[in-house]
Each structure stands twice: as structure tokens, then as C-alpha cells.
Amino acid sequence: MAAASRFPLPRLIGLTLGLAVLAACGGAPKGFLLPTQTPVSGAQKVDMLVITTRRASPEPGVVFGGERDPSESVSEIVVSVPPGHRVGKVEWPKSNPPDPQREFTTVSLSPADRPAVRAWFQRQGGEHARLLVFVHGFNTRFESSVYRFAQIVADSGADAAPVLFTWPSRGRLFDYEYDRDSAIYSRDALERGLARAADAPEVKEITVLAHSMGTYLTMEALRQLAIRRGRLPAKITAIVLASPDIDPHVFARQYEALGPDAPHVTIFVSRDDRALQISRLLAGNLLRLGSIDPSQEPYRSRLEANGKITIIDLTKLKAGDKLNHGKFAQSPEVVRLLGTQLINGQVLSDGR
């Protein structure tokens, strides 16, 4: 792997201030998960199961905050996607209550015990459900993870039952180390969730989609599961890592632990990802997996030797994300690709 190079201090300061300004933009209010019962003609509903290691929040409409809880909580959340929704975009609420005609809204939110989870599975796919498990990244509040995943599900058109795993990110730019520790804190819970899903007779296949710091959590949980059982469950058929905030050396060890029967892994990378530039600096100026150039050595020869890892280079793709960190969800082309091919188990090349 390439050795670390020195970043000048002015660049570090400039990048950090720039990201701070961008993080301050976007202005969605807190507490917008309060259910709105107003029916809207033409709206699309996304019915998801949500597993979290976050501590419950006393604030109405926030539901879960950024602090850690010693146990997992499971909820069922139904989100309404507005009739005029644009692919790749979340129409965030601008006020409370949100406008269901123009903005994402929550239709219902309730705790889910085991009978409720079984009933949800039956509604989603009967005895042959395909699951899409999403693990979000750094700097993500609970409500943001719910609406972003609802957007991905709606735009991808994936034939899969949506399961969100949301871990205790504080949703603040300068809490990087706290978030990283929270990701590690949550790996046992994610492992248990994946194991239970794989053991459920009504589940046929599982695709795991993870973003940013969530990819590190995902690979750690999959690694633990493979070591504990001697291999990954055969029902886990695809792993998709978007903008992975992982040291390439660490990823190589994590992947090796999955064993020779590991499912296909698709990795979305982009060398203009500004969020990963900051992550690189915080990690001792070590390149992140989501920023590699797959056409250069040593990555090119290693990828050619391993036919079960596909890199999709999104560097030339321009999407609405100012940080270039969310292209997988905000590019209409890519998010549709997720639904039509990747989630359904098809293998891609960089030429698609």
C-alpha cells in the first residue's frame, strides 16, 4: 500500500472549516419523526424495520439520540415519500409538522416485539423475503438515517424488505472519535441482528449495504460472524460498501477473515470525496478505502487476482452532494443501479 504523505497544516484547516460550513447547512429541524396521519394521494410508503443501539430520547419526534444504550431496540417505521419526489433527493421537512404533499413524513412509528417482527416479515415477503440491511455512516442523526434509507428504498425500487441498523452517531462533525467508538460498540449488536435474520426460515437472501464509517462497523460484524460460525451464513449473498472509511490494510484483513466462501463485495469509491479527505487526516494521513484509485498499483493487480471484489469508480460522476460523499444515494443512476442489479445479487463491472 502507498505510504502516508504529509498534508500541509493550511490544507487541514481549510478542509475542516469547509466541512464545518457544509455541515451547518441543510437545516432540517429536529423532532420531525412525529407521525402524521394525513393521507396524501400519490405518496409512496416505505415500511422498514429499525434496529438501534441508540439511547431513547425524551424529545418528541426525535425518538433516539446519539448516546449509547446497553441493549438493542427494534421499531417499525412507515415513511411517506411525497408525490413530487425527485430521485436521489430527500425532501427534508422545513417545519413541524412536515407537509406530506412536499416533504418526507412519518406515517407510523411503534416498538416491535418478536410477534410484531414476524408479522412485518409476513407482510414484506411471506416465506421468501429478501432483506436489504442498511448501515449508515458518520455524522448521522437517527431521523436522518430513517429518511435517507427511505429515499434509497423508494428510488432503488429494490425487491427487498428494508431493515435499518442505526448506531449511536451524535450527528456532529467534530465527534468523529466518539462516532468511531460507537461503531465499534455496536458491532456485536449488528452481528446478532444479521445472525438472527440468516437463521429466520422466512428470509431467503440478505444484501448488506453500508456507507462511510458504517462500512467499518459492517466489516467488523461480518468478520466476527464468520469467525464465530466458521463461515458467513450462505443467505448473505452480497455486500455493498459505499465510500468506505476503512484503512485498506484493515479491510484486507477483515475480508480475509470472511473465508473462501465470502459473498461478492462491491465497493463504490471516489477520489474527490471531501469527507474522506478529513477522515484520512484524522487517521494519521492514511488513505481510506473509499478514495483509492483502482487503476493504480497495488490495487489493480490485487483486484484482478480476486474475482469476488468489484470496484465502481464514481470520481467522474457529479451528484448533488457538496462533499461528494453520498453519490451512491444521491445520483439517480447509481441508486437505481443498486435496486435493479446489486441488491438482486448481480455482479457489475466498472463499465456497468
pLDDT of res. 4: 43
pLDDT of res. 5: 45
pLDDT of res. 123: 86
pLDDT of res. 27: 45
- Residue 108 corresponds to which amino acid? S
Q: What is the mean pLDDT of residues 179-188?
A: 98
Please give the CATH architecture assigned to the domain spanning 9-342: 3-Layer(aba) Sandwich (3.40)
What's the first-to-final CA gap in the chain, in angstroms? 27
Distance CA 157, CA 92 (A): 20
Distance CA 117, CA 132 (A): 15
C-beta of residue 281 within 8 angstroms of C-beta of residue 15: yes
pLDDT of res. 2: 41
pLDDT of res. 126: 63
Q: What is the pLDDT of residues 104-126, one digit of tens each?
A: 999 999 999 999 998 998 888 76
Give the model's confidence band at 349: pLDDT under 50 very low, under 70 low, under 90 confident, else very high. low
Whether the predicted pLDDT of 322 surpasses 90:
no
C-beta of residue 130 within 8 angstroms of C-beta of residue 153: no
User: What's phi and psi for 63, nearest 5 deg?
Assistant: 75, -65
Tally Cβ neighbours within 10 Å of residue 94: 13
Whether the predicted pLDDT of 51 surpasses 70:
yes
Distance CA 258, CA 198 (A): 16
Beta bridge partners of 309: 265
Whether the predicted pLDDT of 7 surpasses 60:
no
Q: What's the mean per-residue pLDDT of the chain? A: 89
Q: What is the pLDDT of residues 15-35, one digit of tens each?
A: 555 555 434 333 456 788 999
Distance CA 92, CA 348 (A): 32
pLDDT of res. 343: 66
Residue 104's alpha-carbon distances to 22, 85, 100, in angstroms, are 22, 9, 6
- Residue 209 corresponds to which amino acid? L
Please state which of the ranges 61-75, 122-136, 147-161 shows the lowest mean pLDDT. 122-136
Higher pLDDT, 59 or 181: 181
Q: What is the pLDDT of residues 197-252, one digit of tens each?
A: 999 988 999 999 999 999 999 999 999 999 999 999 999 999 999 999 999 999 99
pLDDT of res. 1: 40
Give the model's confidence band at 13: pLDDT under 50 very low, under 70 low, under 90 confident, else very high. low
pLDDT of res. 321: 72
Distance CA 318, CA 324 (A): 8
Give the model's confidence band at 323: pLDDT under 50 very low, under 70 low, under 90 confident, else very high. confident
Beta bridge partners of 240: 209, 266
Percentage of the chain lying above the pLDDT 70 cut: 88
Distance CA 112, CA 121 (A): 12
Q: What is the pLDDT of residues 261-285, one digit of tens each?
A: 999 999 999 999 999 999 998 888 8
pLDDT of res. 3: 40
Distance CA 58, CA 246 (A): 34
Whether the predicted pLDDT of 11 surpasses 70:
no
Q: What is the pLDDT of residues 133-149, one digit of tens each?
A: 999 999 999 999 999 99
- Enter the C-alpha cell of residue 244: 468506505
Distance CA 289, CA 215 (A): 10
Tell which residue, 239, 248, 180, 258, has the closest CA to residue 214: 180
pLDDT of res. 342: 67
Give the sign of the dihedral formed by CA 339, CA 342, CA 344, CA 348.
positive
Q: What is the pLDDT of residues 69-96, one digit of tens each?
A: 999 999 999 999 999 999 999 999 998 8
Whether the predicted pLDDT of 351 surpasses 80:
no
Q: Which residues lie below 8 Å from residue 188, measured CB to CB, with a gap of 6+?
A: 221, 224
Whether the predicted pLDDT of 98 surpasses 70:
yes
- Enter the C-alpha cell of residue 304: 484482478
* Dihedral, CA of residue 220, residue 224, residue 230 and residue 232, to nearest 10: -50
Return the SS3 of 303.
helix
C-beta of residue 43 within 8 angstroms of C-beta of residue 82: yes
